[in-house]
């Protein structure tokens, strides 16, 4: 179960996650965005870096294999769809500012309040 972050509201300019989403269950995505929204100042940024599904497809065979190994350890975790993450972000008051393609076929999703 997600708990509120121990951060005073509207005190952060940026929240950055690196390779986190693949390690948490999908059910924790809405609380993640809710906590980020609460922590961020007006015009704050929430930046998410990591591997994502493109729709329901993997960007590479290596991504498919790595995701399978994650799910072997815990079937509740694994790669998330970039589209789903964008949708949850919008549901929590974020606007997508940019989607950047990064090395190792990762994405950098930048949202603003």
How many Cα atoms sit within 13 Å of 68 on the Cβ side? 7
Domain positions in the chain are 14-97
CA distance 38 to 8: 8
- Expressed in angstroms, the distance from the first to the final Cα of the chain is 25
CA distance 2 to 87: 19
> In sequence order, which residues have a C-beta less than 8 Å from that of residue 70 and are 6 or more positions away?
22, 23, 77, 78, 79
pTM comes to 0.95
- With tokens 């609460």, the residue in question is 38
Whole-number percent of the chain with pLDDT over 90: 97
As given in the structure block, the two tokens for residue 17 are: 């996650």
Q: Could you report the per-residue pLDDT of 29-68, keeping only the tens digit for each?
A: 999 999 999 999 999 999 999 999 999 999 999 999 999 9
As given in the structure block, the two tokens for residue 45 are: 């940024």
CA distance 110 to 74: 28
Q: Could you report the per-residue pLDDT of 73-94, keeping only the tens digit for each?
A: 999 999 999 999 999 999 999 9
């Amino acid at each position: 179960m997600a708990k509120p972050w121990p951060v005073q509201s509207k005190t952060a300019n940026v929240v950055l996650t690196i390779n986190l989403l693949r390690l948490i269950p999908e059910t924790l995505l809405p609380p993640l965005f809710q906590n980020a929204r609460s922590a961020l100042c007006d015009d704050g940024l929430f930046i998410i870096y990591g591997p994502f599904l493109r729709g329901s497809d993997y960007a590479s065979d290596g991504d498919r294999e790595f995701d399978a190994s994650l799910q072997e350890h815990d079937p509740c975790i694994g790669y998330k769809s970039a589209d789903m993450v964008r949708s949850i972000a919008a549901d929590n008051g974020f606007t997508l500012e940019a989607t950047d393609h990064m090395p190792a076929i990762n994405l950098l999703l930048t949202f603003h309040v």
